[in-house]
Amino acid sequence: MSEGIYDIDFNNSRIPFSVCEKEVYKKLVYTPKMSFESSEIIRRLAWSLNIPMTKALERLVNALAVITNRTKICNACKDKSNCKGCIFSRHFTEKEKAALLAAL
């Protein structure tokens, strides 16, 4: 991590921003905006699990990986650089599927 904190403009307000070395990040993360209704769903899920919304969203996304059509996803994928490490190329046992779904 680089030393020093820089201010950046975000929505017309100055916020502190720590600068990390490029090696820390393998890929940039895109954070999509979501509807108020979707945010409410995740918030309520987080409350029921007694965890932060970010953790609830992670569990939800991981559970989706076991119930979606992975062949369709793999065929549409535009990043074939890490297929062996991709959750969609993995074969889950029934026990693993149940554990991921039970986490919700």
Q: How far is Cα of residue 65 from the mean position of the Cα atoms in its chain?
A: 12
φ and ψ at residue 8, rounded to 5 degrees: -125, 155
Q: How far is Cα of residue 2 from the mean position of the Cα atoms in its chain?
A: 25
**59: helix, coil or strand?**
helix
**Per-residue pLDDT, 17:** 41
Q: Distance (Å, rounded) from C-alpha 5 to C-alpha 61?
A: 32
Cβ proximity of 93 and 66 under 8 Å: no
The label of the residue with tokens 């693993």 reads 96
Total domains in the fold of the chain: 1
pTM of the model: 0.58
Domain hosting 49: range is 5-102
Q: Which amino acid is at 28?
A: L
User: What are the average pLDDT values for consecutive 10-residue runs of the chain, which has 104 residues?
Assistant: 40 44 55 86 92 90 86 91 86 84 82
Q: Distance (Å, rounded) from C-alpha 53 to C-alpha 69?
A: 26
